[in-house]
């Protein structure tokens, strides 16, 4: 086996695609220690600055003292603790839906949702840039998949129209999209997708991993910000390891939908429930998300400051209004992206280079993510450093 493994790793090296693990030696805050060195990081998904919030840690410790650590069993055996149940109720309220179901990770939630919703005659329509877990979910189901161009409702309409004459009588159609796209930071054209789902009798599934907590008046997410309800988007998935700063994921929707998923999703049934202390921590995070809108306000201020400053320079950013702010690398070559990230690293800034296969070849970029935990000075430092190290500055 080792010979095969070595050959496979050599192939990765050949393509210059080997990834290195960075060891975080401190809390997940913007100023952190990585591999023993101080860094100012612009790459976490901790958009509200909650990952290291002491109140959330306190809630986790109190729950550990009360319940211990392990859930001890799957939800449908006897691992479903009171904390899980209370959290599900609060998540349903936060997304203004009838019910919610907790999963241990977003990846598992996506596999479970598509497994429940698809049958042998299902066609899944996916945005080309959907998160890997949504692509894998359709693949695992062996559902027939149609990809449409990123964010392009016209292209989706064309796909649906072309397929319609061949649609069998009980053939289910499911349209699946990220709410906020993880590598581009832009938002799906949801009102147009809702209209297409209604016109073509398809189910609409939105994965709002990067919108929940960040967008909407109370952090309810992308659907909340666009005032789309459960009748328009029946299946909402969101994760808890990003803006909420803890771990896990949930699906929210009508009671009947949630009960269906609870009974069918293998990634819900055949896995140990997340530790109840995580549910308790998430409840504390949800309360902060609701009661401290100033965190969203700080984040929006940072986004405005960053985008306005970049737009006054030669640097090219992608059209995003969210905390995910990709900066294009001229020419889009992997090696140039990596070299730029290295120059930033030399200045003490952690801004990851994103290259293929995570993004299409020739579209390598730096991916900046902003957090409410950054200070104004951090944002200014980032802008100065990007300008000082950009390929443009060097020619």
Ligand X SMILES: *Cc1c(COP(=O)(O)O)cnc(C)c1O
Residues that bind ligand X (CB under 6 A): 105-107, 110, 131, 133, 178, 182, 207, 209-210, 239, 241, 249
Residue nearest to ligand X (CB): 106
Nearer to ligand X, 127 or 378 (CB): 127
In the bound state with ligand X, the residue whose beta carbon lies nearer, of 252 and 386, is 252
CA distance 122 to 142: 9
Torsion sign, CA atoms 337, 341, 342, 343: positive
CA 368, 191, 156 angle in degrees (round to 5)?
85
Q: How many CB atoms lie within 10 A of CB 347?
A: 14
Closest CB to ligand X among residues 237, 337: 237
Nearest CB to ligand X, comparing residues 83 and 178? 178
Q: Pick the closer one to ligand X by CB: 200 or 241.
A: 241
Chain position carrying tokens 């990007």: 386
| CA–CA separation, 370 and 367 (whole Å) | 10
Say which DSSP state 21 is in: P
* 134 and 74 Cβ atoms separated by less than 8 Å: no
Q: How far is the CB of 208 from ligand X (least distance, A)?
A: 8
User: N- to C-terminal Cα distance for the chain?
Assistant: 47
CB of 210 to ligand X, least distance (A): 6
- Kindly state the smallest distance separating residue 271's Cβ from ligand X, in Å: 13
Segment (H or E) for 103: strand 99-103
Is 274 or 389 the residue whose CB approaches ligand X more closely? 274
Shortest distance (Å) from residue 63 CB to ligand X: 20
For residue 279, the minimal CB distance to ligand X (Å) is 14
Least distance (Å) between residue 109 CB and ligand X: 7
Burial (CB count <10 Å: 0-12, 13-18, 19+), residue 209: buried
CA–CA separation, 209 and 289 (whole Å): 15
**Shortest spacing between CB 106 and ligand X, in angstroms:** 2
Q: Pull the structure tokens for residue 188.
A: 């799906």
Give residues with Cβ within 8 angstroms of 251, minimum separation 6: 100, 101, 103, 109, 112, 113, 235, 236, 237, 258, 261
Q: Give whichever of 271 and 313 is closer to ligand X, judged by the CB atom.
A: 271
Instruction: Give whichever of 135 and 385 is closer to ligand X, judged by the CB atom.
Output: 135
User: What DSSP character marks residue 252?
Assistant: E
State how far the Cα of 36 lies from the Cα of 89, in Å rounded to an integer.
42
Beta-ladder partners of 38: 33
Question: Please, what's the b/e burial string for 233-253 (b: 16 or more CB within 10 A of its CB; e: otherwise)?
Answer: bbbbbbbbbbbbbbbbbbbbb
The residue among 46 and 378 lying less far from ligand X, judged by its C-beta, is 46
- 357: preceding bond cis by omega (within 30 degrees): yes
Q: Nearest approach, Cβ of 176 to ligand X (angstroms)?
A: 11
CB of residue 292 to ligand X, shortest distance in Å = 23
Q: How far is the CB of 86 from ligand X (least distance, A)?
A: 20
Residues 168 and 144: beta-carbon distance below 8 Å: no
Give 277 or 386: the residue with its C-beta nearer to ligand X.
277
How far is it, in rounded angstroms, from Cα 87 to Cα 250? 10
Shortest reach from residue 110's CB to ligand X, in Å: 6
Cα 364 to chain centroid distance, Å, stands at 19
Return the number of the residue (194 or 249) whose C-beta is nearest ligand X.
Answer: 249
């Amino acid at each position: 086996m080792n010979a095969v493994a070595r050959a496979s790793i050599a192939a990765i090296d050949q393509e210059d695609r080997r990834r290195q693990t960075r060891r975080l030696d401190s809390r997940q805050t913007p100023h952190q220690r990585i591999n023993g060195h101080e860094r100012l990081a612009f790459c976490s998904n901790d958009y509200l600055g909650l990952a290291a919030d002491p109140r959330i840690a306190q809630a986790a410790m109190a729950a550990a003292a009360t319940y211990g650590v392990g859930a001890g069993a799957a939800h449908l055996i006897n691992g479903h603790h009171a904390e899980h149940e209370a959290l599900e109720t609060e998540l349903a309220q936060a997304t203004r839906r009838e019910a919610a179901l907790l999963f241990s990770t977003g990846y598992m939630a996506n596999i479970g949702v598509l497994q429940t919703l698809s049958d042998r005659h299902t066609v899944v329509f996916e945005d080309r840039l959907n998160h890997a877990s949504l692509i894998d979910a359709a693949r695992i189901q062996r559902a027939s998949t149609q990809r449409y161009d990123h964010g392009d409702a016209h292209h989706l309409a064309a796909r649906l129209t072309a397929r319609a004459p061949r649609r069998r009588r009980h053939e289910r159609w499911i349209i699946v999209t990220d709410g906020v796209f993880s590598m581009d930071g832009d938002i799906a054209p949801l009102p147009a997708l809702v209209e297409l789902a209604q016109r073509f009798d398809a189910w609409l599934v939105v994965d709002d991993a990067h919108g929940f907590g960040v967008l909407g008046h109370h952090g309810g997410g992308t659907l909340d910000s666009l005032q789309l309800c459960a009748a328009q988007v029946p299946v909402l998935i969101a994760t808890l390891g990003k803006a909420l700063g803890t771990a896990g994921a949930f699906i929210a929707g009508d009671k009947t939908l949630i009960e269906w998923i609870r009974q069918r999703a293998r990634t819900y049934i055949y896995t140990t429930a997340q530790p109840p202390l995580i549910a308790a921590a998430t409840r504390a995070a949800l309360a902060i998300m609701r009661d401290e809108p100033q965190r969203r306000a700080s984040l929006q201020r940072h986004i405005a400051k960053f985008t306005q400053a970049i737009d006054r320079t030669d640097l090219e950013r992608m059209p995003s209004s969210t905390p995910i702010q990709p900066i294009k690398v001229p020419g889009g070559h992997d090696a140039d992206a990596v070299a730029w990230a290295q120059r930033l690293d030399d200045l003490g800034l952690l801004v990851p280079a994103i290259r293929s296969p995570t993004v299409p070849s020739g579209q390598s970029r730096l991916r900046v993510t902003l957090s409410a935990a950054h200070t104004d000075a951090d944002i200014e430092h980032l802008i100065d450093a990007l300008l000082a190290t950009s390929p443009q500055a060097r020619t």
